[in-house]
Chain A
Amino acid sequence: MSTTTKPVNQKAWFLILPMLLCVAFSAVLPLMVVVNYSVQDIISPERRVFVGTEWFAAIMRDEELHGALLRQITYSFAVLAVELPLGILLALSMPAKGWKSSAALVIVSLSLLIPWNVVGTIWQIFGRTDIGLMGAALQGMGIEYSYTGNALHAWLTVLLMDVWHWTPLVALLGYAGLRSIPDAYYQAASIDGASKLDVFWYVQLPKMRGVLMIAVLLRFMDSFMIYTEPFVLTGGGPGNSTTFLSQFLTQKAVGQFDLGPAAAFSLIYFLIILLMCFVLYNWMQRVGTQAKEAGHE
């Protein structure tokens, strides 16, 4: 077998040419434009100076960026920590069949259909202490609630808004995972004398693993790039307490028109997301598959 050589035909490379072109125009070229900006100081449309890695070095040392990055990471993990358990709980409590399940699906997914800036506006009004239901209610309970004045309140409101907007996505994915478990698993568990908690822990959760992994990645990436909702609701304030990475970037690129540093930061931003997803994905791949070997004996 090993002595026979395979026929070589390099023409096959032409077959991937269309794909290469598509990817080039959709991803590689725009990215290269950003790379191009990130190594130049553009003083005016006619005058530009090559600065090498200067912008990267500067942006990495930027205190404001450190603050925004820290806020962003805290926020994204808070989103995951709340939305994941809540979504699973919601999925578990949704009816499995009949018209009730259809109704539940529609009701649960309603918030997913609302555009981002509308969500921001809804919460802006919802949180107002004069006419907003939540703001007025909190005020009535004696809490000095103000998402424009109090940094903690602003941060919590942005978090709550995301939970309201996106937990249904986790719930829908979890629901799909639950429905794909064959009845035999529940029957076997019942025959084996498993409690409800056992069924969740040993049947439902392991079987939902795949979809939950997708949910974690989607929610992480999305919340890491969150822009419109906090922008509409708080505008990044008070101070910079709700200024997350993408808003920081926009301020740089559009507000101050610092294209060089903004481009350098875009690339770093992209790499951070890539790295985080890579780490998260690999960690989730491993969790639950090897933990047991270590635990046994």
Chain B
Amino acid sequence: MARIELDLAHAYRPKPQQDSDYALLPLKMTFEDGGAYALLGPSGCGKTTLLNIMSGLVTPSQGGVKFDGQDVTQRTPQQRNIAQVFQFPVIYDTMTVAENLAFPLRNRKMPAAQIKQRVGAIADMLELGDQLNQRAANLAADAKQKISLGRGLVRPDVSAVLFDEPLTVIDPHLKWQLRRKLKQIHHELKLTLIYVTHDQVEALTFADQVVVMTRGRAVQVGSATDLFERPRHTFVGHFIGSPGMNFLAGRSDGAVFETVGASLPLAAGLALPSGNYKLGVRPEYLTLAPANVPGALAMEVRQVQDVGTHVILSAVREGALLKARLAPDSTQLKVGDTAWLQVMGAHTCFYKDDEIVA
């Protein structure tokens, strides 16, 4: 178990000139001992690179990695005592399930009795108990991945367990189960778990702290609530939530925000110097308002989608599109109607150069 501190940058090519040459832009980050973290971002954003740097499979081209204050940048995964689970099941074909699970322990010369007990415990946790003596090669993909997970979790003294999109090959209904299992295991074993995924639901349900990454940059680290209520970067607003955050480009003169041909008064406590900004508001926080209320916009309804638990209303004004998530039966609006949407509110954020300012 260890507290992991990162202060590094990484480029796969030798002499990086510009930002796009970097797989990871300079970043500073700390993963506390015993925490459950998720690295979330679209494909190619650098999350797997970051994970491999932590595990020691990749050496960062600049900066270093510290475990409990000790520099481990040049150490191998074995020396760092890391466990890692990969996207696709990695199993030893010629071994049985039990031998697979015991392999990392056997290589570390743990006494046989202890190995047996440990393997039994992990197998029970992952519900592999009755398959222990079967050959691993003949099992289905999800059982194989459970073995991979088990090999990651079997060592009691690891610094951290890293997961690289481990549930990709698993059926959706099993995904839920396994994710709950992992969460439960985290509570029982108190291991530091770091989980890479591009699935926001997976990240938000698994982790206490989510690191959102895009194009080699970690744009926000926070809890699910933070990411939802105060996205620090417009990318986080877009990426988290379904549908993502609405954005309106406009200008502030200190008291009024002018956008799509309307003037919205800024709240009293809001200090927004003159300049160009982007207003961001979650579809969940957009509400229907009576006509001509301050802070509301008159929009033309384009689409009303009933998705069962709620209604998604899409409306436009001067080319800008807003989506609102409303309670079912709360509206009789039809396509072509005018709807007044309350844009200004407690959860409305303002961005300058994609970074939050208010």
Contact = CB atoms under 8 A, between A and B. Distances in A.
Interface in B123-152: 133, 135, 137, 148, 151
A31 B103 CA distance: 54
Nearest to A183: B57
B92 A206 contact: yes
Q: How large is the interface on B (under 10, 10 to 19, 20 to 34, 35 or more residues)?
A: 20 to 34
A11 interface: no
Given A195-B107, A202-B95, A289-B135, A190 B90 contact: no
A203 interface: yes
A207 B93 contact: yes
B93 A192 contact: no
A161 B98 CA distance: 46
A187 B57 contact: yes
Contacts of B76: 190
Contacts of A293: 96, 133, 135
Interface string A255-284: 000000000000000000000000000000
| Secondary structure call for the A interface | helix
Given A184-B90, A195-B107, A190 B78 contact: yes
A46 interface: no
A190 B77 contact: yes
A192 B104 contact: yes
B83 interface: yes
Contacts of B343: none
Contact of B104 (A184, A193, A288): A193
B107 A194 contact: yes
Contacts of A207: 93
B57 A198 contact: no
B55 interface: yes
Most buried by B among A188, A192, A296, A297: A192
B107 A193 contact: yes
Most buried by B among A188, A195, A202: A188
Nearest to A288: B94
A207 B94 CA distance: 10
A285 to B, nearest CB: 13
A61 interface: no
A1 interface: no
A191 interface: yes
A292 B95 contact: yes
A98 interface: no
B94 A206 contact: yes
Contacts of B2: none
Interface in A181-226: 182, 184-185, 187-188, 190-195, 198, 202-203, 206-207
Interface string B285-316: 00000000000000000000000000000000
Given A191-B83, A203-B92, A296 B103 contact: no
Contacts of A190: 57, 76-78
A188 B144 CA distance: 14
A195 to B, nearest CB: 7
A197 to B, nearest CB: 11
A288 B104 CA distance: 21
A297 B133 contact: yes
Contacts of B108: 193
Contacts of B103: 192, 194, 202
B84 interface: yes
Nearest to B104: A192
A187 B135 CA distance: 22
Interface of A: 182, 184-185, 187-188, 190-195, 198, 202-203, 206-207, 288-289, 292-293, 296-297
13 contacts: A184-B86, A184-B87, A187-B57, A188-B86, A191-B55, A192-B151, A193-B108, A206-B92, A206-B93, A288-B94, A289-B135, A292-B95, A292-B99
Interface of B: 55, 57, 76-78, 82-84, 86-88, 90, 92-96, 98-99, 103-104, 107-108, 133, 135, 137, 148, 151
Given A187-B86, A191-B84, A194-B103, 19 more contacts: A182-B90, A185-B90, A187-B57, A187-B84, A190-B76, A191-B77, A191-B82, A192-B104, A192-B107, A193-B107, A193-B108, A202-B93, A202-B94, A203-B92, A288-B94, A289-B137, A292-B96, A292-B135, A293-B96
